[in-house]
């Protein structure tokens, strides 16, 4: 009597698929590069459409037509806009930012002299802004409708509503005029190490911390209140999980995801130097260089600085999206 043998199913090799995490990161990078290219178009042709002539602004209205023509030829201003955009974009890809119209010096040298100051100011500000904003937001969000919550919410609302130049003027008036503790003008001595001149950064950093921490605190508070009302938080409490564990292991990681977007915005905002704040304190950073370039119609410098600030903002946003994906279990399961 023959015995039927069950057919053996063929062994299937597992498909080699792109991991979800890697795909997510590559997608965000691709979108970032595309966005940066679109922004470069907007920056170049937006500035191109503005009234005014860089040659006349640099040489003066009394310059002869021959001199103006020679100046435009030297800087390529006599070429069509589309050709100049192609040359500018090609130069950017090779690290050549062009030359400053008024001085003729490389734009990369002008930026190199300023970027270190802005990076230092932004770093000092972030070291204070992020922890203060998160702590205040968590503290207020876990005490909803209490006297503490109302006080913190009112204070942060006022600080967030005050324009930066008004806040800078108040800080300057209090800590440099009425109570002269810090210098009113942030004059940097290039012959001395920057670490020995941190006192000149206190007032600009304090202004930026007050404005940025207020926005971060309000965002963290709103996220914490929303997360603490979720069913899984209620279930964790019914199961007897300690309040500290509920807060730090369940609520806070889910609340920090949206908060990272605010931190990313603050990074771009800070690296831009908050042009008005740097102007008030005469701080020699990127924002101050941008205002000076606009005043002198230094098109090459304005274009490069605008694109630099946009790049920093995009990189910070991409990193925030990736970090939020890993912090939020719902997003992590979809990768």
CA 147, chain centre distance (Å): 33
pLDDT at 15 over 50: no
Tokens of 188: 């940097």
pLDDT grade, residue 16 (50/70/90)?
Answer: very low
pLDDT grade, residue 328 (50/70/90)?
Answer: low
Give CA–CA dist 256/53, Å, rounded: 48
Model pTM? 0.77
The DSSP secondary-structure symbol of 12 reads P
Tell me the C-alpha to C-alpha distance, in Å, between residue 324 and each of 23, 219, 261, 317: 15, 15, 8, 10
- 63 by Cβ neighbours in 10 Å (0-12 / 13-18 / 19+) ranks as middle
Give CA–CA dist 84/300, Å, rounded: 11
- For the ranges 47-61, 151-165, 237-251, the one whose mean pLDDT is highest: 151-165
The mean-pLDDT minimum among 2-16, 171-185, 321-335 falls in: 2-16
Supply the mean pLDDT for the chain: 81
Tokens of 182: 């810090």
Give CA–CA dist 166/207, Å, rounded: 10
pLDDT grade, residue 20 (50/70/90)?
Answer: low
Q: Which residue has the higher pLDDT, 102 or 96?
A: 96
Which residues does residue 99 pair with via DSSP β-bridges, in sequence order?
A: 106
Three-class DSSP category at 61: coil
DSSP secondary structure, 228-282, as one string: HTSHHHHHHHHTT--HHHIIIIIIHHHHHHHHHHHHHHHHHHHHTTTHHHHHHHT
Which residues does residue 204 pair with via DSSP β-bridges, in sequence order?
A: none
Mean pLDDT of 272-297: 82
DSSP secondary structure, 208-221, as one string: HHHHHHHHHHHHHH
The count of other CB atoms within 10 Å of the CB of residue 47 is: 17
Tokens of 232: 């899984």
Three-class DSSP category at 106: strand
Give CA–CA dist 133/140, Å, rounded: 11
The mean-pLDDT minimum among 24-33, 256-265, 310-319 falls in: 256-265
* Element containing residue 164 per DSSP (H, E): helix 164-172
What is the predicted pLDDT for the residue at 238? 85
Non-local CB neighbours of 148 within 8 Å, separated by 6+ positions: 139, 140
């Amino acid at each position: 009597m023959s015995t039927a043998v069950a057919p053996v199913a063929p062994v299937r090799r597992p498909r080699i698929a792109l991991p979800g995490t890697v795909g997510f990161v590559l997608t965000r990078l691709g979108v970032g590069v595309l966005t940066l290219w679109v922004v470069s178009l907007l920056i170049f042709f937006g500035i191109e459409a503005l009234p005014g002539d860089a040659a006349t602004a640099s040489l003066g209205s009394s310059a002869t037509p021959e001199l103006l023509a020679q100046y435009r030829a030297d800087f390529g201003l006599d070429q069509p806009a589309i050709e100049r955009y192609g040359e500018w974009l090609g130069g950017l890809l090779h690290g050549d930012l062009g030359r400053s119209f008024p001085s003729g010096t490389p734009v990369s040298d002008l930026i190199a002299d300023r970027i270190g100051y802005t990076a230092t100011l932004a770093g000092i500000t972030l070291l204070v802004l992020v922890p203060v904003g998160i702590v205040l937001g968590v503290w207020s969000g876990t005490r909803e409708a209490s006297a503490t919550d109302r006080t913190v919410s009112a204070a942060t609302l006022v600080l967030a509503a005050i324009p930066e130049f008004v806040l800078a003027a108040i800080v300057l008036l209090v800590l440099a005029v009425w109570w002269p503790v810090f210098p009113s003008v942030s004059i940097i001595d290039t012959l001395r190490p920057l670490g020995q001149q941190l006192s000149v950064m206190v007032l600009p950093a304090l202004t930026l911390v007050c404005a940025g921490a207020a926005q971060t605190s309000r965002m963290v508070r709103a996220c914490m209140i929303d997360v603490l009302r979720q069913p899984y938080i209620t279930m964790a409490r019914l199961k007897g999980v300690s309040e500290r564990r509920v807060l730090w292991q369940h609520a806070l990681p889910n609340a920090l995801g949206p908060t990272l977007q605010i931190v990313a915005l603050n990074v771009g905002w800070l690296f831009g130097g908050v042009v008005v704040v740097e102007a008030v304190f005469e701080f020699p950073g990127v924002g101050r260089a941008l205002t000076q370039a606009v005043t002198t119609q230094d098109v090459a410098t304005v274009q490069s600085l605008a694109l630099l600030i946009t790049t920093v903002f995009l990189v910070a946003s991409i990193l925030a999206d990736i970090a939020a994906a890993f912090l939020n279990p719902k997003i992590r399961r979809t990768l």
